[in-house]
Amino acid sequence: MNEVIQNLLKGTSWPIVAAMICLMIIGVSALAVCQQTEVTSIDFAGKQWKFALLGLAVFVAMTLVPYHRVGEWSYILYGLTLVLLIAIFATPPIRGARRWFDLGFLLIQPSEIAKFSFVIMLAWYLRYGDHYRRLRGLIWPFLLTLLPMGLIALEPDIGTAMLFLPTLYFMLFVAGAKGRHLLVILAMGLFVVFVPIRMPAPDEFPEQVAKGQFTSWRLGPMTFYNVNEAMKPLDRPETPVAYSRVQWRDGRAHDLQPLALRVMMGKTQTGQYAERARRIAAWLRPNDPRLARTEGYQARQGRLVLGSGGLTGRSDWNDSDNFFSVLPDDHCDFIFCVIGGQWGLLGCAILLLLYGVIFLFGTEIAVWTNDPFGRLLAVGVLSLLFTQIVINVGMTLGLTPVTGMTLPFISYGGSSLVVNCAAMGLLVNVGLHRPIRLGPKPFEHTDVTSPRERIELQK
């Protein structure tokens, strides 16, 4: 154990450890703020401290085990997580979704374990060979990605499912896959997602046109209609998203909707898909007062809390009639807003700076290791962390639709915190086993002599 600690202090991995611990301290502090301004019997901060201690133990364990040994078990770990993702559908729903195994004293989220095992498995699969440099060789990596991604999306947990494809693309690019092949697959995926589907328009469409609620323009035999943005928001037609309606020459009207939107608008017993479509509508039309009171309420309140912090944060939150209580689920997905409201722009900047330390020294680890598996493992961990931060912060700023995505090391949740600590343990593990550089790389020359000295040496 002493040798491991000495290696951590000697190498460049110690800033990663320090930044991770600081992030967890900030997370617990933010949860304490949420707890003091809400009427709840759950001790979020106290539980998060226990999760943090468990996460640190897992972190140390992942630095002790050689990461190649972890890679040898990657396929088994990946298979077990698939079994868990399938078994989750046999559990009763919690808050309208099947995402957790309720053990009574603990909730375990298999999707968090799945993203961790996915990175290890993919790095082990891509470590040798050049089959993925051909377009046909990319079939298996994408199938291995879409399998857990699809199961997680069915829970439904779209936020976690969104992490897999960006991570796959980062790892394939570093592994040596050709950029044009990746662009072809991306274009094909976008076409499938956004291919227009024609659906019958609502019965009240002619009446809405007569009231001037739509603007129109003609293209050949078709007339396209868009929502009249010039009207007052309350006078506009209530549509799930901003899409176009088309009327054929025979007078029949249809909605042109992307395939992905059509799937999301399909109603289930819990109504989850219809609600998700309205969340996108709230993102596209943040100033619509009807959506601001329903699906857009959380995003709107989050921006208000975030912006109220100013430069250094609010000092009067204790006397502001439970200011943070206006934000639902502030201890989970919208914890970044609490940090901005409590400690202002300065607190947000410090938070992002700590993430930047992890990325800086993590990238240094990935660049200097000459082991293919170690490099891919480091890139996978960093890309997974980067995607989570971008989605969560973008969601709170209104840049992306609201979806369930925790902020790493900050949001409340044992599964997320422990898995992120395990991922950091693997990253540091790769850094501890980097080759010692005794001199410059081949064809890399250092010349410390002055021009006059070089002339003297040539003589």
pLDDT in tens, 201-222: 666 777 777 777 877 777 766 7
Burial 194-216 (b: 16+ CB within 10 A, else e): eeeeeeebeeebeebbeeebbee
Residue 232 lies in a domain: no
Task: Decide: helix, strand or coil at residue 11.
Answer: coil
Residue 453 forms part of a structural domain:
no
Quick check: is 459 in a domain? no
Give yes or no for residue 265 having a pLDDT over 70.
no
Q: What mean pLDDT value characterizes the chain?
A: 78
Domain count, the chain: 1
| 410: nearest Cα among 433, 429, 392 | 392
In a domain? residue 448: no
pLDDT digits (tens, 9 = 90+) for 57-90: 999 999 888 888 998 899 999 999 999 999 888 8
In a domain, 23, yes or no: yes
Residue 14 domain-assigned (yes or no): yes
- 276: in domain: no
From residue 179, how far is each of 6, 110, 134, 162, 435 by CA, in Å? 41, 32, 11, 21, 29
Q: What domain range includes position 409? A: 2-195+299-432
Q: Say what percent of the chain tops pLDDT 70.
A: 74
Whether 238 is in a domain gets the answer no
107-155: per-residue pLDDT in tens?
A: 788 888 999 999 999 999 888 766 667 777 788 888 999 899 888 888 8
Distance CA 237, CA 234 (A): 8
